[in-house]
Amino acid sequence: MFNYLKLIICPFLTFSLSTVFFTDAPENWQLGFQDPATPIMEGIINLHHDLMYFICVIFIFVSWMLSRTLWHFEKTQNIVPSTLTHGTLIEIIWTITPACILLVIAIPSFSLLYAMDEIISPAITIKTLGHQWYWSYEYSDYLNEEGESIIYDSYMIPEEDLISGQLRLLEVDNRMIVPVNTHIRIIVSAADVLHSWAIPSLGIKCDAIPGRLNQTSMFVKREGVYYGQCSEICGINHGFMPIVVEAVKLPNYITWISNKLSE
């Protein structure tokens, strides 16, 4: 019997330990985060988990106080009503305690906030422009012999053109290609109305505002295909302008750039 079980379990264990699957796109009825691919997203998830600790403790404490009060001061059990209207000590305690909790929470929160704003001398700048209703990407660090840079549009693939395995309302014709383990500056703007360039796995959500260049940074730690969507209501096709970022190794990125420049 044991040998039989071993035969079934061992290959499964070997497979599950040797292969890691990341979710970089949303799943049906998903409640949690997508898997992080940048240090910022790891920070966001850690902060969320830290805050959940405080939330659970406060929820249990408040529920216990509330149910105890309802139980003990119910009119059949407590015929003579209390005439107590205020108590200085208790009021000081319930003001100071939440203030202290907020101060403790503020420390990791601010450090993450400032880490997100920090631009560490970038190696690449990529511009992303929101249009009604598609994204366009500009790689202007490199010019071809005619002095032209790489500019292309990224449209959603309609449902009828999807091939097996592609994600509905998330797949695009031209992905944004970025190298892994490289500091990238992203400049986000819009050509017509407000949009927002957001990718959960990369921990990025940056508003695209006409006439303004918003800067954010990206440091992708692993190769993969990351999916996001426009996150600022921008008109009738707001839900049909997804974002796809493909992270590749630096030499592959350089090859891709060379090919694009020679096109």
Task: For residues 181 and 198, give the distance between their C-alpha atoms in angstroms, rounded to a whole number.
Answer: 20
Minimum CB–partner distance for residue 140 and other proteins (Å)? 5
Cα distances (angstroms) measured from residue 159 to each of 44, 163, 255: 33, 9, 31
Is 112 one of the binding residues for other proteins (CB under 8 A)?
no
By rule CB under 8 A, what string of x and - marks binding of each residue 84-103 to other proteins? Answer: --------------------
Tokens of 160: 């009828």
Number of residues that bind other proteins (CB under 8 A): 35
Is 182 one of the binding residues for other proteins (CB under 8 A)?
yes
Task: For residues 142 and 69, give the distance between their C-alpha atoms in angstroms, rounded to a whole number.
Answer: 69
Helix, strand and coil percent figures for the chain, each rounded to 5:
40, 25, 35
The nearer residue to other proteins, 23 or 214, going by C-beta atoms, is 214
The nearer residue to other proteins, 23 or 125, going by C-beta atoms, is 125
One residue of 67, 78, 111, 144 binding other proteins per CB under 8 A? 144
The nearer residue to other proteins, 25 or 178, going by C-beta atoms, is 178
Q: What is the 3-state secondary structure (H, E, C) of 219-262?
A: CCCCCEEEEEEECCCCCCCHHHCEEEEEEECHHHHHHHHHHHHH
Binding region for other proteins (CB under 8 A): 117, 119, 121-125, 127, 129, 138, 140-145, 149, 151, 182, 185, 187, 189, 191, 211-216, 250, 254, 257-258, 261-262
